[in-house]
Chain A
Amino acid sequence: AQTVTQSQPEMSVQEAETVTLSCTYDTSENNYYLFWYKQPPSRQMILVIRQEAYKQQNATENRFSVNFQKAAKSFSLKISDSQLGDTAMYFCAFISGNQFYFGTGTSLTVIP
């Protein structure tokens, strides 16, 4: 069975600081994709970043980057220069076949 674990239910960070959200997953597959989604108070699900398991290079999207450790099955999200608009629920997700598996989410609050 595929599982995604986010061990930090809530986190906070000062504006302009850096924060890292943790995610671990469990799979027996070798090729897969990992994602981070952001869900602000509007409840819209917004894709933040994507990582292909076959790529060793960590994905980066502007202020967002990941630390992908395939052997450790770890996929953390780093947000640099945090902004107030980053306040949201963040879900780590893993795709296997045509099923997405979401973690339970980390609620991030950016403090002015």
Chain B
Amino acid sequence: AAGVIQSPRHLIKEKRETATLKCYPIPRHDTVYWYQQGPGQDPQFLISFYEKMQSDKGSIPDRFSAQQFSDYHSELNMSSLELGDSALYFCASSWTQGSYEQYFGPGTRLTVT
């Protein structure tokens, strides 16, 4: 079965640079979520999209933005990167007509140096 795809899997950036993370949800899933998981932390919800519209916002810094495109893939754009942005970034998707469970991608490990 198709799973959530995230790219790249690993990314190394320097402070003040910009990064773009991509997420391809499971086909027919209508909702995409982004999470940030720091070392030893639980995943923190950043933002979600339902049918290409932003539906909920969590602890996403103003330096970050995200959008969902017509083909349902989503991108998380991170600017003015800081050392503290180093984390594992998960994308998850779900089908709200089902039972709401989220299926997670493998994550993108971002390292800011």
Contact = CB atoms under 8 A, between A and B. Distances in A.
B3 to A, nearest CB: 10
B56 A97 contact: yes
Chief secondary structure at chain A's binding surface:
strand
Contacts of A100: 33, 35, 43, 45, 92, 102
B59 to A, nearest CB: 11
Interface of B: 31, 33, 35, 37, 42-45, 48, 50, 55-56, 58, 88, 90, 92, 96, 99-104, 106-107
The number of chain A residues touching the other chain, given as a range, is: 20 to 34
Contacts of B45: 99-101
Nearest to B50: A98
Contacts of B56: 97-99
Contacts of A84: none
Given A33-B101, A47-B103, A98-B55, A91 B50 contact: no
